[in-house]
Structure 1
Amino acid sequence: MNTWQNIIKKRMQDIGETQESLAEKLSVTQGSVAHWLSGRRKPDTDIIASILKAVGIRELIINADGSAAENNTKNKLNKNNFQIEVLDITASAGAGYLNSDVKEVIKLIEYDSSQAKMLFNGMDANNLKVINISGDSMQGTFESGDSIYVDVSKKEFNGDGIYVFTFGKSLYVKRLQIIKDKLIVISDNKKYKEWDISEDEIDQLYIHGKVMLSQSMLLRKHG
């Protein structure tokens, strides 16, 4: 199976890039690069994006089974399969990211029809988007660097759950719950205090979608 590590190592060989020179570009140690490329450690997806940029790979497709291909193979994808766009947006599971803080991660994930039926239960692929998250306030449910699958057809609060939303000028991924007349914003990491959005502040809230699944090493259902 061709993995993203294999693609990076082949590109490094082609352009004469060493682990030492790549580490210098990334401002990390050569040991970190060696661990990432060997698969001994799993970097966050924003680190993978930085590695791709450093070696001149503009886009990479990472499939659900861990296989990968440069985006010049995109036209060979089976159009009958279930394809989900991956957006270059980082949502905060922490203090909040400004909307302008974007990170290129991956561009397309493809599932065959049987996988899609099992995972997405007949959902329209056009309503599902994948984004990367950063921070530790949802630790235990998500880890920093996880990818989350967001149902962007859910633009309003429709029951307790985890949502991607903008409040003020920041983009968050948090658990939302209505208690009395207030919308409570909850972090699953208990070291973070919950906060609320009052009726007077509701015009500052824009819900982008509801989180349905997340993916790190495992795919987990949330809705």
Structure 2
Amino acid sequence: MQSESQHGLGTTVPFSPEAIGTRIEEIAERVGGKRELANLAGIHETQLYKYIKGANSPSIAVAVALADTAKVSLDWLLLGKGESVPEANADAEYSYIPLYDAKISAGHGSWAEGAKVLTRLAFTRYSLRKKGLDPAKLSAVRVDGDSMLGLLDDGDTVMVDHSRNTLEGEGVYVIRLDDHMYAKRLQRQFDGSVHVISENKAYRDMVIPKSYQEEFEIIGRVVWAGGWMV
């Protein structure tokens, strides 16, 4: 990761840091979150937070790097003038959700830490907003295995909402249990236990007693799934 000095210019932007911070937060949402924006622009994440909070002003070189990374107008980022992107640029209508190279296992296995972003999946900002989804709290990964066959095929891509990390009702969630990751349907029972259900009935369901749930973590709810038909 590059430091600000490696960008070549250290002169800070002589404009309101609070206003710039608001716009930096907006472009972070557009590219998949603050950490992703910092990584792509080659700056430290802690420094990015200082820009957003208005504690520091970015150098001109860093502002250029941020604008280039998010494909936004530099005039808009620095001054708030005009549109963030040209009207002809359809990217203004989309949020880009990072797709990681690790697979969530639908049977056995783990989602390795430090997974890299393979690409970003484009979703209209309208469609995400309509579903009440925050792009900064979404990620996409691939399913591995056939235990959810009939709902999720091996190789399908799922989008996970990390803000929904408590059991809201029956639904498909990504969970961590005994240091393994699963994509499963969850049901809470009257006695407080949680049933972990496979769509493929060749796999037995699991029951997590209420007393064991300290070892059970909900990573997020699956809110979208897609895959090839051929």
TM-score where L is the length of structure 2:
0.55
**Structure 2 partner of 1:127:** 137
Give aligned pairs, total.
143
- 1:4-153 matched pairs, under 5 angstroms: 76=71, 78=91, 81-94=94-107, 96-100=108-112, 106-113=118-125, 116=128, 121-153=131-163
Q: Distance in 2 between matches of 1:101 and 1:81?
A: 27
Structure exhibiting the larger radius of gyration computed from Cα positions:
2
What is the Cα deviation at residue 92 of structure 1? 1.1
Query: How far apart are 1:103 and its partner, in Å?
Result: 6.4
Equivalent position of 2:212 in the other structure: 201
> How far 1:106 sits from its partner (Å)?
2.6
Cα 1:105/1:143, change in 2 over 3 Å: farther
| Unpaired segments ≥5 residues, structure 2 | 1-67, 73-90
Structure (1 or 2) with the greater strand fraction: 1
Rate the CA distance shift 1:79–1:89 in 2: closer, same or farther, 3 A: farther
* Cα distance between partner residues in 2 of 1:188 and 1:151: 21
| RMSD between superposed Cα atoms in Å | 2.5
Superposed CA deviations along residues 168-220 of structure 1, whole A, max 9, x for unmatched, are 110000000012321001000011111111122101111110011101037xx
User: SS in structure 1 opposite 2:118?
Assistant: coil
8 Å Cα contact 2:128/2:135 also seen in 1 = no
Give TM-score scaled by structure 1 length: 0.57
Using a 3 Å threshold, how does the CA distance of structure 1 residues 132 and 99 change in structure 2: closer, same or farther? closer
Change (3 A) 1:190 1:111: same
Alignment partner of 1:98: what SS?
coil
Q: Distance in 1 between matches of 2:163 and 2:144?
A: 23
Q: Residues 99, 216 of structure 1: CA spacing in aligned structure 2 closer, same or farther, 3 A cutoff? A: closer
